[in-house]
Amino acid sequence: AQSVTQLGSHVSVSEGALVLLRCNYSSSVPPYLFWYVQYPNQGLQLLLKYTTGATLVKGINGFEAEFKKSETSFHLTKPSAHMSDAAEYFCAVSTGGFKTIFGAGTRLFVKA
């Protein structure tokens, strides 16, 4: 069975600082990994995904994530936070069963 753990339900950074949101997964088969962002009262927007190939994945809005199989991690980073990055972020894993399992979410706060 697969699972996703997001470390830290809340992360607060200053504008311009590095953003690091942590995600660890568990899967018995090669996973597809995703990061989604959700703004209040909106659906989920795909930031980036890892399927196969290059382990460093670049997404929208300057975000990127690195798939590290040995650490079963898929942490999300952005070099410089903007106020507009404040939102809820979800890490997710999907395997051949086609169900996507979501982490509990991390709320990112950006301070001016």
Q: Which residues bind other proteins (CB under 8 A)?
A: 32, 34, 36, 41-46, 49, 51, 90, 94-96, 98-100, 102-105
- Name the minimum Å distance from CB 54 to other proteins: 17
Task: Give yes or no for a contact between 7 and 20, defined as CB atoms under 8 angstroms apart.
Answer: no
**3-state DSSP percent of the chain in helix, strand and coil, to 5:** 5, 55, 40
* Cβ-based nearer residue to other proteins, 79 or 97: 97
- Name the minimum Å distance from CB 5 to other proteins: 12
Task: Give yes or no for a contact between 50 and 33, defined as CB atoms under 8 angstroms apart.
Answer: yes
Task: Give yes or no for a contact between 81 and 16, defined as CB atoms under 8 angstroms apart.
Answer: yes
* Cβ-based nearer residue to other proteins, 17 or 44: 44
Q: Is 108 left (phi over 0), alpha (psi -120 to 50) or beta?
A: beta
- Name the minimum Å distance from CB 74 to other proteins: 15
* Cβ-based nearer residue to other proteins, 24 or 94: 94
* Cβ-based nearer residue to other proteins, 18 or 46: 46
